[in-house]
Amino acid sequence: MRSNPPRDAFWQQWLRPWRLIGLVFLLASLSFCGVPIAQAPLVPHAPPDPATPMVAPTLTAIPTVEAAPTAMPDPAAPRRVGLQVGHWRIEEHPDEQARLRRFSGAYYRGYDEWELNIIIARQTMERLEAAGVAVDLLPATVPPGYLADGFVSIHVDGATGAQATTRRGWKIATPFRASAASDALAEAISAAYPRITGLPEDPLGPSYDMRAYYAFAYYRYHHSIAPETPAVILEAGFMTHPADRELLFGRPDLIAEGIAQGVLRYLAAYDPSDAAARTPVGRALLRPAREDAPLYARPDQQSAVERTLVRDERLAPMAETGGWVLVFTHGGNWDLGWVRTEDVEETGEALAPPVAPVHSPQGRSGGCALASALRVL
């Protein structure tokens, strides 16, 4: 015969299923908010891949150099370089860049891209400062008209699906309308970076999105670098690829050394008094030479017509080749496409943002809206 359990044992048995029900309710609540359970707290935790040694990012307070634009680089002053931490403090983007507040960059198993970018940027800054270079550590928001001897936007890449384990490598891009100094900066980093890191170059190369990077777009945004600032954007590797990830997380010092050596190589040959070398290449604003001029997807009349152009709208020219001009429509949707040279004419108007600056940054909404299960560049 089974005897009745003691009073304490009875209550423990009776409460056990209710504890389980409470735990299920808590997990369901977190899932309803869109927070991946294992990723809800943004704090360092165990590496995502036991086979790959990784450096846990730190979330301690990081001092930021508040960079103020200057009139022109002073040849007698120490060389100054801006290192932008890609996607860091995106909630501070001004209203003119409000749409960028939701682009948090690449993501891999609990690690946001900016956490890795800032480790690389800080180690790069230490190396440059040790060599006598003045460095501004910049967040996602760039001071209006930021002027320096060089600007490097530091990012890491990410891929999804089948490409997550196959696509790898670094790539670098200059702005559209790149100056000779921007080209020199890209060439110097391209020479040093693979030699020091051993990483391969991404065979697909940089995209138009990289060349039209918002921090370069002085023709679109007030919060952007000055046209005369030599600039590049670097994708240091793919945090989603096992081999790249091993180096990005395990040896960020090598990544930083590759960037720093490239910047120092560039500065060694840089002449701050050569204004022509810092001047972007390209024409002023254009306009259609006729009503309903076609905007093509490619420099080919057999390609798709993106839309037809209105006679009085403005076009920002980005590049020219073989009787074709790559343009952004200046304002509105900022459509990118190709027009034939004979279909456009000069306006004599300088490239500048089409609207007045807006100075009231708004943060992203809090709560569940901050979480996403997968973020891409």
pLDDT per position as a tens digit, 113-170: 999 999 999 999 999 999 999 999 999 999 999 999 999 999 999 999 989 889 999 9
Give pLDDT tens digits for 27-68. 444 343 433 323 333 233 333 443 444 444 443 334 444 444
Distance CA 217, CA 99 (A): 15
Q: Which among 308, 315, 301, 303 has a CA at the least distance from the CA of 344? A: 315
CA angle 71, 73, 79 (to 5 degrees): 145
Instruction: Return the percentage of the chain with pLDDT > 90, whole number.
Output: 71
Which pLDDT belongs to residue 355? 72
The pTM assigned to this predicted structure is 0.77
* DSSP code, position 35: -
* Same-fold call for 80-278 versus 286-346: no
Whether residue 124 contacts residue 256, with contact meaning beta carbons closer than 8 Å, is answered with yes
Give the mean model confidence (pLDDT) for residues 215-239. Answer: 97
Mean pLDDT of the chain, nearest integer: 82
- Residue 77's pLDDT band, with cuts at 50, 70 and 90, is confident
Which pLDDT belongs to residue 357? 54
Which pLDDT belongs to residue 136? 98
Give the mean model confidence (pLDDT) for residues 271-287. Answer: 96
Which pLDDT belongs to residue 9? 41
Q: What does the DSSP assignment read for 110-139?
A: TEEHHHHHHHHHHHHHHHHHHTT-EEEEE-
Give the mean model confidence (pLDDT) for residues 70-84. Answer: 79
Whether residue 295 contacts residue 311, with contact meaning beta carbons closer than 8 Å, is answered with no
pLDDT of residue 109 exceeding 80: yes
Domain definitions of the chain by residue range: 80-278, 286-346
Instruction: Return the percentage of the chain with pLDDT > 70, whole number.
Output: 74
Which pLDDT belongs to residue 158? 95
* Fold exhibited by the domain 286-346: SH3 type barrels. (2.30.30)
Of 58-62, 246-250, 269-273, where does mean pLDDT reach its minimum?
58-62
The CATH superfamily of 80-278 is Zn-dependent exopeptidases (3.40.630.40)
* DSSP code, position 13: H
Give the mean model confidence (pLDDT) for residues 84-107. Answer: 95
Cβ contacts of 66 within 8 Å, gap of 6 or more: none
Which pLDDT belongs to residue 76? 73
Cα–chain center distance at 8: 60
Where is 153: in which H helix or E strand?
strand 150-157
Give pLDDT tens digits for 341-371. 999 999 999 999 987 654 433 333 333 222 2
Which pLDDT belongs to residue 152? 98
Query: Which range in 12-21, 289-298, 355-364 is most confidently predicted, on average pLDDT?
Result: 289-298
Which pLDDT belongs to residue 35? 35
Q: What are the helix (H) ranges across the chain? A: 7-32, 113-130, 180-197, 208-211, 242-250, 252-269, 275-278
- Tokens 């945090």 map to which residue? 239
